[in-house]
């Protein structure tokens, strides 16, 4: 199926119609750039719908008219030089049920990609890691699990889980750890089910300033001829900006800290957080991606 996506690149040239959801404008700005980098590798008919959740709409309108706020924020969120290439629209709303709003908006806009941005003050990487590990414990009910976290954090964690479980199209959970540029990207492959992330690797590596290091922890690229063919295709079409980590070398914490972004599949994430790797606590901003589900 993955090879078919790259065959003739017809699938990769289909327009991206992304929904980017966030609370803090800075996280929205960063995630908008990532979504734009993905969309720019496709058709110029691509579109990005931005959905910002705010706590109090009335309080906002006391300081600034909503129309003015939306215009100003949209101008900040659109990457420079890309206004004419990607259609962007912004919705700002107070929400009693963010998950329901995201699901409804994704359906209304016919989105084929949903990206959720989580700011550090909402839930950092260590918190998401802890929640993911505990969630794999069958003896803990969802209620008991959430009681182990502060109320606000618990609601965010439940929200993240709901987005991954309910949204059917490819979905990315972006945990913002202060990302400013995404030039150096690390992609661990720890589960065969996560090879779909090579679609995103290919798209992001179209940018000349981007360099991506793939860690084939399960040896699938070397052992599977079709995966080897696909990886060679990606390397060739990105002028060598995608490289394979040398397994004879140990991954050190210094290397991880030198990366701007980690991209990992949702199955690989589950495996990574349960593996006692010394550099796991040094992860930079991380994008966890789930493929489409039936």
Quick one: pLDDT band at residue 61, thresholds 50, 70, 90?
low
Whether the full predicted model's pTM is greater than 0.75, yes or no, is: yes
pLDDT at 163: 94
Checking if the pLDDT of 4 tops 70, the result is no
pLDDT at 126: 87
Higher pLDDT pick, 152 / 106:
106
Task: Spell out the residues 6+ positions from residue 262 whose beta carbon is closer than 8 angstroms to its own.
Answer: 185, 186, 187, 188, 256, 283, 284, 285, 286, 287
Task: Spell out the residues 6+ positions from residue 276 whose beta carbon is closer than 8 angstroms to its own.
Answer: none
Quick one: pLDDT band at residue 19, thresholds 50, 70, 90?
very high
pLDDT at 34: 92
State the DSSP H helix or E strand holding residue 26, giving kind and residue range, or none if neither.
helix 25-40
Q: Measured at the alpha carbon of residue 20, what is the angle toward residues 175 and 51, in degrees to the nearest 5?
A: 115
Q: Say if residues 114 and 171 touch (Cβ distance below 8 Å).
A: yes
pLDDT at 192: 92
How confident is the prediction for the chain on average, in pLDDT? 87
Mean pLDDT of 202-221: 93
Mean pLDDT of 120-137: 87
Picking from 142, 148, 140, the residue whose alpha carbon sits closest to that of residue 160 is: 142
Domains, in order of start, for the chain: 2-175 (3.40.50.620), 184-286 (3.40.50)
Length of the chain measured in residues: 294
pLDDT per residue over 91-125, tens digit each? 998 888 999 999 999 999 999 999 999 998 898 88
Mean pLDDT of 129-140: 87
Picking from 293, 294, 292, 265, the residue whose alpha carbon sits closest to that of residue 113 is: 292
Share of the chain above pLDDT 70, in %: 89
């Amino acid at each position: 199926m993955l090879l078919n996506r790259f065959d003739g690149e017809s699938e990769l040239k289909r327009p991206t119609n992304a929904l980017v959801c966030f609370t803090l404008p800075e996280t929205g700005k960063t995630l908008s750039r990532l979504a734009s980098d993905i969309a720019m590798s496709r058709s110029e008919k691509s579109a990005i719908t931005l959905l910002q959740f705010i706590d109090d709409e009335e309080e906002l309108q006391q300081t600034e008219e909503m129309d003015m706020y939306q215009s100003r924020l949209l101008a900040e969120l659109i990457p420079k030089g890309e206004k004419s290439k990607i259609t962007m629209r912004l919705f700002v709303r107070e929400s009693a049920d963010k998950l329901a709003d995201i699901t409804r908006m994704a359906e209304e806009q016919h989105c084929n990609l949903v990206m959720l941005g989580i700011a550090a003050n909402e839930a950092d990487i260590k918190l998401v890691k802890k929640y993911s590990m505990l969630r794999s414990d069958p003896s803990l009910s969802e209620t008991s699990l959430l009681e182990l976290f502060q109320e606000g954090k618990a609601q965010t964690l439940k929200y993240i889980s709901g987005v991954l479980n309910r949204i059917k199209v490819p979905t990315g959970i972006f945990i913002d750890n202060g990302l400013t540029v995404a030039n150096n990207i690390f992609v661990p492959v720890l589960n065969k089910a996560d090879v779909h992330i090579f679609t995103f690797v290919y798209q992001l590596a179209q940018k000349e300033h981007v360099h991506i290091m793939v860690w084939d922890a399960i040896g699938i690229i070397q052992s599977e001829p079709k995966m080897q063919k696909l990886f060679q295709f990606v390397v060739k079409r990105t002028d060598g900006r995608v490289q394979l980590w040398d397994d004879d070398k140990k991954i050190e914490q210094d290397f991880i800290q030198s990366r701007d972004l980690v991209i990992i599949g949702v199955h690989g994430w589950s495996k990574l957080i349960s593996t006692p790797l010394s550099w796991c606590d040094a992860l930079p901003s991380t994008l966890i991606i789930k493929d489409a589900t039936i």
